[in-house]
Amino acid sequence: MRELLQLLTACIGALGFALLYNTRGINVLFAAVGGLLGWAAFLGAGVLWGPNDYIGGFAASVMLTVYAECMARIRKTPVTVFLVCGAIPLVPGAALYRAMKYLTAGNIQMFREQSAYALLFAASMSAGIMVTTIIFRLCWSFIAKDAKEKRRRI
Amino acid sequence: MPGLTRQEAERYLYYAMEIGEAMLLCGAEVGRVEDSIRRICIAYGARRVDVFTITSSIVTTVYGEEFLSCTQTRRVSSMKNDLSRLNALNCLSREICEKKLSAEEIASRLEAIQSTPGYPFPVQAALYAVVSAAFCIFFGGSWEDMLVSAAIGVCLKFVESFLQKGSSNPLLIALLCAATGGLLSNLAVSAGFGNSSDSISIGNIMLLIPGMAFTNSIRDIFSKDMITGLVRFVEAVVLAIAVALGFTFANFL
């Protein structure tokens, strides 16, 4: 139940941000699906490899980046449009908030724990985006037969 | 095709820079900006193009047979994420490279793109409410917290647009917005609305955290645009910490 609710809210959150960043037309929906897929991968990784949030964050951003790169080529739109909105649910806002709350309350032990979590989660998410972008573009340059298609800026 | 005259070269370079600057303002990665300017200049017959872009500046020199060399610079000061404008500019630059539009045509197309309005204020306020509500539930808040978070989200939009009229410092605006959000959530809980001011604030915090700047900075760093990547990364981290601190500020009172 909680998982379903999270999937739904991740989707709505990504949709909201797509609109706040002034996305127009059908791309708004595709951006929202990105948020949903990313969180689905997070939950899926939890089922497959046990509850490790860092692996989940990595899996989520791998999934999201593959989706965004594919959509960018299909829709002939910059990757940013799909990637950025879908990545919003993966931003560790809650951990950051708690870290600062413990810091101001003088609870250094918990501050360390929460800020390390926020930092590592952000790092694993960025690692996922990077690794996937590089590998995807490498593969794409082999797949795209047409030289013009290859050079096209996405 | 005969070489460009000095005047033509300056004119086309001006429009290439105009497009590049607009892209940077909407939140494009530096690589995309440099690539677009380079492609446009080469399409109009430049022999060599050197572009250097960081978050706050663009410098381009083009070389050609007849006009020798021509340099223009831009100082880019503000930034406002706008993905539909970015998309339109991207399409325009592709079209320019394919069809070699005339200078007047580029000017009118740019004008049209720049004057496309964003979503109206009430829609944006509603979106703030929706996003806050969604992330409040996402991070495990209760339904009651969700409603309070949505209401505070709307307030934050008003506070933000009020502050934006007075100041152009994004750090200050974010800090004050965050402090207001923290204060309102504590007030709401002590007045009996909502269960936990933490869950409420966590919904609101997502509005102010610079997710896009963070994602873009990572992409910049790994596409070898180290300076911009690092600048944007530090900006995003400082802003995120300021926001989180602002929300917890109310706990002192």
pLDDT in tens, A45-61: 988 988 888 999 999 99
Sort out which chain B residues have CB atoms less than 8 A from A78's CB and list them.
28, 32, 83, 86-87, 90
Which is nearest to B28 in space by CA: A120, A78, A77, A97? A78
- pLDDT tier for residue A103 given thresholds of 50, 70 and 90: confident
Distance of alpha carbon A60 from alpha carbon A42, whole angstroms: 5
Distance of alpha carbon B11 from alpha carbon B4, whole angstroms: 10
Subunit contact A2:B202, Cβ cutoff 8 A? no
What pLDDT is stored for residue A149 in this prediction?
A: 53
Average pLDDT, chain B: 88
What pLDDT is stored for residue A148 in this prediction?
A: 54
What pLDDT is stored for residue B170 in this prediction?
A: 84
Distance of alpha carbon A83 from alpha carbon A24, whole angstroms: 15
What pLDDT is stored for residue A35 in this prediction?
A: 92
CB nearest to B86's CB, from A80, A93, A101: A80
CB nearest to A87's CB, from B29, B35, B211: B211
User: Which residue reads 């996405």 in tokens?
Assistant: A154
Subunit contact B245:A100, Cβ cutoff 8 A? yes
Whether residue A72 lies within 8 A of chain B, CB to CB, comes out as: no
Whether residue A145 lies within 8 A of chain B, CB to CB, comes out as: no
Q: Mind listing the pLDDT tens digit for each residue in A38-94? A: 999 999 998 898 888 899 999 999 999 999 999 998 888 888 889 999 999 998 888
Q: Average pLDDT in the B176-193 region?
A: 89
Whether residue A64 lies within 8 A of chain B, CB to CB, comes out as: no
Scored b (16 or more CB within 10 A) or e, A20-39 reads bbbbeeebbebbbbbbbbbb
**Is A120:A146 a contact under the CB 8 Å cutoff?**
no
- Suggest the residue from A2, A71, A100 to mutate for an interface test with chain B (most B CBs closer than 10 A): A100
What pLDDT is stored for residue B1 in this prediction?
A: 44
Domain range summary for chain A, segments of one domain joined by +? 2-151
Whether residue A32 lies within 8 A of chain B, CB to CB, comes out as: no
- pLDDT tier for residue B117 given thresholds of 50, 70 and 90: confident
Share of chain B above pLDDT 70, in %: 98
Closest-CA residue of A relative to B121 is: A20
Residues 83-142 of chain A whose Cβ lies under 8 A from any Cβ of chain B: 83-85, 87-89, 91, 93-94, 96-101, 103-105, 122, 126, 129-130, 133-134
Residue B163 vs residue A144, higher pLDDT:
B163
Subunit contact B211:A91, Cβ cutoff 8 A? yes
Q: Mind listing the pLDDT tens digit for each residue in B90-116? A: 999 989 988 888 888 999 999 999 888
Say what angle helices B143-166 and B197-208 make with each other, to 10 degrees: 40
Q: Mind listing the pLDDT tens digit for each residue in B37-89? A: 999 998 888 889 999 998 889 999 999 888 888 999 999 887 788 889 999 99
What pLDDT is stored for residue A100 in this prediction?
A: 87
**Is A121:A53 a contact under the CB 8 Å cutoff?**
yes
User: Which residue reads 């593969």 in tokens?
Assistant: A139
What pLDDT is stored for residue B127 in this prediction?
A: 93
Sort out which chain A residues have CB atoms less than 8 A from B135's CB and list them.
9, 13, 89, 93
Q: For residue A51, give the 3-state DSSP assignment.
A: coil
Whether residue B247 lies within 8 A of chain A, CB to CB, comes out as: yes
Tell me the nearest-neighbour CA distance from A61 into chain B, angstroms: 11
Average pLDDT, chain A: 88
Whether the pLDDT of residue A147 is over 70: the answer is: no
Distance of alpha carbon A82 from alpha carbon A37, whole angstroms: 12
Whether residue B157 lies within 8 A of chain A, CB to CB, comes out as: no
Give me the torsion for CA of B78, B82, B85, B91, rounded to 10°.
110
Closest-CA residue of B relative to A99 is: B244
Domain range summary for chain B, segments of one domain joined by +? 6-114, 121-252
